[in-house]
Amino acid sequence: MQPLDPAKIFAYAIAAITFSAGIGLMTGLLDYDVLPQVRYTFGAVLILMGLYRFVVTKFKPKPSKWRRITNVDDEE
C-alpha cells in the first residue's frame, strides 16, 4: 500500500469543499442576497469545478520510476 500523499489529500479536500459549496448554493443552504439565476449559475460552476478537480487528481499520471530517481526527463 502506498503512503498517503499530502498533495493528493489537499486536492481531494479542495474538490470536496468546492463541490459541497456548489450543492449548498444550489439548494439554498448557503443563502446570499443575489438573484436566483446568479446563485444557480455560480452553484453549477462550483459543482463542475469540484468534479473536475476530483477527476484530474484521480487520473493524474504518475512519473516514471527513472524520472523519480534521476530527475531526468529523457528515458534513453
Q: What's the pLDDT score for residue 10?
A: 94
Domain spans of the chain, in order of start? 6-70
Helix 6-27 to helix 36-58 angle, to the nearest 10 degrees?
A: 160
36-54 pLDDT, tens per residue?
A: 999 999 999 999 999 999 9
Secondary structure of 22-62 in HEC code, one letter for each residue: HHHHHHCCCCCCCCHHHHHHHHHHHHHHHHHHHHHHHCCCC
Of the pLDDT bands very low, low, confident and very high (cuts 50, 70, 90), residue 70 is: low
